[in-house]
Amino acid sequence: MLYSIRGWSWRLRWYLTGTGMVALVAAAAWLRQLPYSSDPILYSYLQIVGSLLCFTYAANALVQFRGTHDRLTLTLAFGFVLSGVIETAGTIHFYEILASNSSLQMSVPMEWLVSRTLLGLVLITALVVERRVPNSREPTREIVGALVVVVAVAYLTSAAYFGSPLNLIMHPKDLFARPGDLLPAVIFAIAAIGFGRRARIHVSLIDRILCAALWMNVACHLVATQSERLLDAPFTVAQFLKVGSYAIVLGGALLDNARLFDQVRRLAVTDSLTGLSNYRTLIGAVESEIQRSRRTGRSFALLLLDMDGLKAINDQHGHLAGSRAICRLASVIRIHSRATDTAARYGGDEFAVVLTEAGEEAAAAVSRRICERLATDGEVPQVTVSVGSSVFPRDGQTMDELFNAADRALYGMKRRPDGIQALTRIAACL
């Protein structure tokens, strides 16, 4: 049943895609009949914007590669650079065509086909390379390797176009006035299908955006097949679709970089296992509270918590159970901390909580709630914790004094005999 549903889903998707392409070609054929001719300045602006988008994306992709070592990103960066360079050179040649006789104005610019075919082939090459070796081991060597691959693709593409007897003359009376644009359309369609499959595996925003941009490039070349002369309506619409696809790709890359930077920022201030703040964040919070308390005259409390018997849990139940116990304690601490408090893990089984505008009674209440929640959570193995607290400025005027006072209180509890220690915890939970 599931296979049947998936089969119908694929058939429906391909049917809608084919119907959309046919409708697009029909709309372009209608545009073909319009007596429209755009200003060459508009074409220049579109070319300049497209080249800038290519270069900007390439720079952004290179920055991302330095952090992720993703081969696909690196290959795309060089591909977009070469495509932007060729399109920039094509802009100069375009004006030479406009200034020449009318016969050249009825031919498809070679730079257009070379740059577009090159970009499509680089996208397919990037997918193939990523499938075989997804991440690079030596970034510097990989940059050279990716550059060689992209240059080789560019050379073969240029040689194929310039050395082949292709007829690039437009045919106004044929169904496809520019049949040469069908090849880039097919190449971009193959790349779009490949990135669509990749998006279903990785389920990331950038892959979906890139897939949408590739289908826009397919539409670009399908519209271009209806262009009978330079600067007519289908020609202009194709240029807008091309530049729009570049803008979408760049926007997706920027959003993906923002996500990566946010992830790095979170990793820099949080503990990877528990999600609580790390030691650096804890130190900053204590220093900030000391400065605030000196200005306002209001105290704050520092709790230090140490899990009891973590080694015994690891030995009897395994390290996964030990990690799970640490996460259980972290969850309890998070639940019983206010939004203004800072809960942190600063060691293997050592935690701390900075309680803003709190005194000894508040620190004791939080400690009691944490012990009570751990004693009644019903999970195995049972977790207990030793707690020590200090209050600013009563127990210390500096950060070291506060930590030492809380540490003495914590290990004072740990040094008690087991029976007295257990009774102390039971009393703290009542």
Q: What angle do CA 393, 396, 402 make, to 5 degrees?
A: 110
Burial call 35-46: b when 16+ CB within 10 Å, e when fewer: eeebeeeebeeb
- Whether the pLDDT of residue 425 is over 50: the answer is no
Between strands 350-355 and 342-345, the pairing is: antiparallel
Structure-block tokens of residue 391: 């209050």
Split at pLDDT 50, 70, 90, the class of 165 is low
Q: Is the pTM of this model over 0.85?
A: no
What is the predicted pLDDT for the residue at 360? 87
User: Bigger pLDDT: 88 or 164?
Assistant: 88
CATH number of 13-269, picked from 3.30.499, 1.10.3470, 1.10.8, 1.20.1070: 1.20.1070
- What DSSP line would sit under 170-194, residue for residue? --TTSSSS-GGGHHHHHHHHHHHHH
User: Bigger pLDDT: 295 or 107?
Assistant: 295
Q: What CATH number has the domain spanning 279-429?
A: 3.30.70.270
The pLDDT tens digits of the residues spanning 19-72 come to 877 888 888 888 888 888 888 888 888 888 999 999 999 998 888 887 777 778
Domain with CATH 1.20.1070 in the chain: 13-269
User: Looking at this protein, which amino acid is placed at residue 11?
Assistant: R
Query: Which range among 242-246, 340-344, 390-394, 420-424 shows the weakest confidence by mean pLDDT?
Result: 420-424
- Whether the pLDDT of residue 263 is over 60: the answer is yes
The pLDDT tens digits of the residues spanning 140-162 come to 777 787 888 888 888 888 888 87
Q: What is the CA radius of gyration of the chain?
A: 32
What is the predicted pLDDT for the residue at 418? 47
Domain with CATH 3.30.70.270 in the chain: 279-429
Between the CA of residue 368 and those of 167, 305, 337, 410, 428, what are the distances in Å?
A: 85, 12, 13, 14, 5
